[in-house]
Amino acid sequence: MTTLAPVGATPQPGSTTKKSFGKTPDGQPVDLYVLTNKNGAEASITNYGGALVTLKMPDRNGKLADIVLGYDNADGYVADKSYFGALVGRYGNRIGHAQFVLDGKTYTLAKNNGDNSLHGGVKGFNKGLWAAKTLSAKDGQSLELSYRSKDGEEGFPGNLKVTVIYTLTDANALKIEYTATTDKKTVVNLTNHAYFNLAGQGSGDILGHLLMIDADQFTPVDAGLIPTGELRDVTGTPFDFHKPTAIGARIDQDDEQLKLGGGYDHNFVLRRGAYAEESPAARVVEPTSGRVMEVWTTEPGIQFYTGNFLDGKTIGKGGASYPKRNAFCLETQHFPDSPNQPKFPPVTLNHGERYHTVTTYKFSVEK
């Protein structure tokens, strides 16, 4: 049974603690929920943008390090332009020309990324205050976050009710379960935008991390990072991660797609299909600490992004700075621009249907 310890209490193994995390610009209180599992691993989550603020996991000697980028208080998340740890919606990733057509009606969104819409628009779900509730979980600590996105918000149709449940399990996994319903046909693509550095946040670049992605194809992009519609075979390209390969091994190769992304910033077509059971999508090993992260998901795609837009100017947790490629993201998702790509798995949600996806980040060590 989850107990909610009083503000300011020291987290105990197998508990959830609530702390003040600051205020929104209009003065509403923002909280931080610190989930601690039986091994002392920790995940802390703020109700501002539903962001994962810290994730502390052991290395091969049992030493904990915080392995996600973030900020020390709500102000950091209010100012953030990188989506550190945030819940992203209503449509994670890009929609080309910031518009799409549903049942013959054109919906126009804000162009907040060149000519395109990115990550839900100007005020996406990452800038909203979510309602939070601790839940009892049999195998760990859970936090339920809810958000109501109004019909017309950021140009999307339909009142959307969204619930996200984060669970830190006693087996050192972070499970994220997304549910949504609408009262009118809409498009939905929810994800979490955690930036990982398995050696510890602020400890340097991630080019030596070894990555495997269970994908035979990726979706090549144009100059605005919108998929061309092609599903391209990864064989013989720097996008082949069938075998564990250092992220930095090919990142600066003379490759048209890497140049367009400024590194990796691409959606991979996972070998599994949509809406089956969760299955393995990616595995990352950080050789110096021995930390291993596996990503399991029900989603058909994963955006692999190597922090190409990080510039070292943002001050993060504990005064850390985050230069280019100091973290990587593996954002589970439906493919970018799906509302305009009839051949991609559909992202429409009808009245009466239930959107439900699950992604789990599982942590372990290699000796």
Annotated catalytic sites, by residue?
A: 193, 331
Binding flags for ligand GLA, 105-134, as an x/- string (CB under 6 A) = -------------x----------------
Residue 303 binding ligand GLA, by CB under 6 A: yes
> Is residue 303 within 8 Å of residue 267, measured between CB atoms?
yes
Binding of ligand GLA by 338 (CB under 6 A): no
Write out the DSSP string of 97-143. Answer: GGEEEETTEEEE----BTTBEETTSTT-GGGSBPEEEEEEETTEEEE
Q: With 0-12 CB in 10 A as exposed, 13-18 as middle and 19+ as buried, what is 154? A: buried
Pairwise CA distance, residues 304 & 316, whole Å? 22
Looking at this protein, which amino acid is placed at residue 227? Answer: P
Q: Is 91 in the site for ligand GLA (CB under 6 A)?
A: no
Binding ligand GLA (rule: CB under 6 A), the pick from 268, 305, 322, 355 is 305
Please give the Cα distance from 78 to 237 (Å, whole number). Answer: 39
Which residue of 215, 327, 329, 347 would you call a contact of ligand GLA, by CB under 6 A?
329
Pick 33 or 264: Cβ nearer ligand GLA = 264
Extract the tokens encoding 235: 């064989």
Please tell me whether residue 265 binds ligand GLA under the rule CB under 6 A: yes
Q: 3-state DSSP call for residue 222?
A: coil
Residue 92 or 158: the one with the smaller Cβ distance to ligand GLA is 92
CA distance 65 to 53: 13
**Which residue, 81 or 354, is less far from ligand GLA as judged by CB?**
81
d(CA 56, CA 292): 13
Amino acid (one-letter) located at 110: A
For ligand GLA, the closer of residues 219 and 298 by Cβ is 219
Q: Closest distance between ligand GLA and the C-beta of residue 172, in Å?
A: 25
Q: Which 3 state secondary structure label does DSSP give 261?
A: helix
- Segment interacting with ligand GLA, rule: CB under 6 A, options 231-239, 246-254, 303-311, 351-359: 303-311
* Residue 210 touching ligand GLA (CB under 6 A): no
Which spans of this chain sit near ligand GLA (rule: CB under 6 A)? 82-83, 118, 225, 265, 303, 305, 309, 329, 331
